[in-house]
Amino acid sequence: VQLVESGGGSVQPGGSLRLSCAISGDVDTDSCMAWFRKVPEKEREAVAALDSDGSPMYADSVKGRFSISKDNTKNILYLQMTSMLPEDTAMYYCAAAIGTSCSGGWWLRHMDEYNYWGQGTQVTVS
């Protein structure tokens, strides 16, 4: 399984970006797909997740501004970011937890149990 992120870049506060995560390989349909972000010298932060039934989940810090979705025909996971803030600046990673549901807060509490991670794409808001 490979996850390859793209779409990062620089944007002004209030602007928008859409991140993509191209998924290749055998990812179980009953899997939790998620986006995380990391700033140097800070802990990794969960941003959003998409359960296998299509249910989206969001961290409080991005709720109402970010939207997670997946194109199953192209096997691409998206993160649409709007009304962006300087504190959204980070390296963004997509991740897959095979055969696992995101529900019940699992996606937030078990970051170390995701099976696959992408290489990340940098987002800068300034």
Transcribe 62-104 into DSSP letters.
TTTTEEEEEETTTTEEEEEE-S--GGG-EEEEEEEETT---TT
Q: Tell me what pLDDT residue 30 has.
A: 84
Q: Tell me what pLDDT residue 81 has.
A: 98
Map tokens 């249910």 to a residue: 55
- On average, the pLDDT of the chain sits at 94
Taking only the tens place, the pLDDT of each residue in 55-70 is 999 999 999 999 999 9
Taking only the tens place, the pLDDT of each residue in 8-29 is 999 999 999 999 999 998 777 7
91: closest CA among 51, 41, 56? Answer: 41
Phi and psi for 55 in degrees, rounded to 5? -75, 125
- pLDDT of residue 83 exceeding 80, the answer is yes
- pLDDT of residue 2 exceeding 90, the answer is yes
Q: Where are the alpha helices (DSSP H) in 15-76?
A: none
Taking only the tens place, the pLDDT of each residue in 87-123 is 999 999 999 998 899 998 889 888 999 999 999 999 9
Given a contact cutoff of 8 angstroms between Cβ atoms, the answer to whether 33 and 49 are in contact is yes
Given a contact cutoff of 8 angstroms between Cβ atoms, the answer to whether 21 and 91 are in contact is no
